[in-house]
Amino acid sequence: MSKPITLYSHGSCAKKGVPSFGIFTDILSLSATGPNPWKVAIILEELNIPYTHKFIKMADMKKAPFEALNPNGRVPAIEDPNTGITLWESGAIIEYLVQTYDTKAALTYTSSPERFYVSQWLHFQMSGQGPYFGQAVWFSKFHEERIPSATKRYLDHIKRVLYVLDKALEGKQWLVGDKCTIADLSFVTWDMMLPFIFGDDLGSLELEKNYPNYFAWNKRLMERPAVKKIAKEKTEAAATHEQ
């Protein structure tokens, strides 16, 4: 490949003053910027694929010209001039990237059953982690009224996802086989949202004590150079981009 892929994310390039939240950067921008485009950025970085990162305002997503690119009016979406493809849905984009550019299967498997287990965890991330963590964000921060029973429903769902991951990681370093794959990496940007979602109650989760396998795994993920780089860029983007 020679030409950079375009990755569409949420944001625009006007500075906005917002409070910061430790290593997880500012609260408002972090939530609105959204974890899914950064999930794709991590895979692009891991595979050393050249890309340019374009930020779209929320108000511009559900109309032309962006809606022609993605009828769902959401980010991430990519355009790859090397193959001519336009694609959306972060799970599908990640699968496209490894199938097209990860020729040595560094982040996935070509063997069976491993490649199906990678797919299983990726689908669990897409359907079981993202949407429920997202609803927890919505009801704890943005819904028009405070509804404790609805907020509790989704905080409980998060604890359940942590429990499932912790159980699956018992005696293991990574979800599938003996290496880090897109299955593991797909979870990390939503996991970065936990301090924002739980706020002052984060400590009550006692992550290290209650979910030790999950905790150690998340730490391993956060220490990877690609994840570190994107976490830093995400922080910077959240601090400088309008929603």
Residues that bind a copy of itself (CB under 8 A): 71-73, 83-85, 87-92, 95-96, 99-100, 112-113, 116-117, 119-124, 126-128, 130-132, 135, 138-139, 143-145, 147, 149-150, 153, 164, 167-168
Name the residue nearer to a copy of itself (CB basis): 29 or 36: 36
9 versus 235: smaller Cβ distance to a copy of itself: 9
What is d(CA 104, CA 108) in angstroms, rounded to the nearest whole number? 9
Q: How far is the CB of 197 from a copy of itself (least distance, A)?
A: 17
CB of 84 to a copy of itself, least distance (A): 8
Are 53 and 9 within 8 A, CB to CB? yes
Which residue, 22 or 71, is less far from a copy of itself as judged by CB?
71
The residues, ordered by sequence, that sit 6+ positions from 144 with a Cβ below 8 Å of its Cβ are none
Cβ nearer to a copy of itself, comparing 50 with 131: 131
How far is Cα 44 from Cα 189, in angstroms, rounded to an integer? Answer: 14
Determine if the peptide bond prior to 65 is cis (ω within 30°): yes
Nearer to a copy of itself, 131 or 199 (CB): 131
Shortest spacing between CB 235 and a copy of itself, in angstroms: 25
70 or 235: CB nearest a copy of itself: 70
Cα separation, 140 vs 230, in Å, equals 26
Q: How many CA atoms lie within 13 A of 225 on its CB side?
A: 5
Peptide bond into 76 cis (omega under 30): yes
Q: In the complex, what is the shortest distance from the CB of residue 156 to a copy of itself, in angstroms, rounded to a whole number?
A: 12
Question: In the complex, what is the shortest distance from the CB of residue 238 to a copy of itself, in angstroms, rounded to a whole number?
Answer: 23
Minimum CB distance to a copy of itself, residue 151 (Å): 10
Buried b / exposed e over 146-166, threshold 16 CB at 10 Å, is eeeebbeebbebbeebbeebb
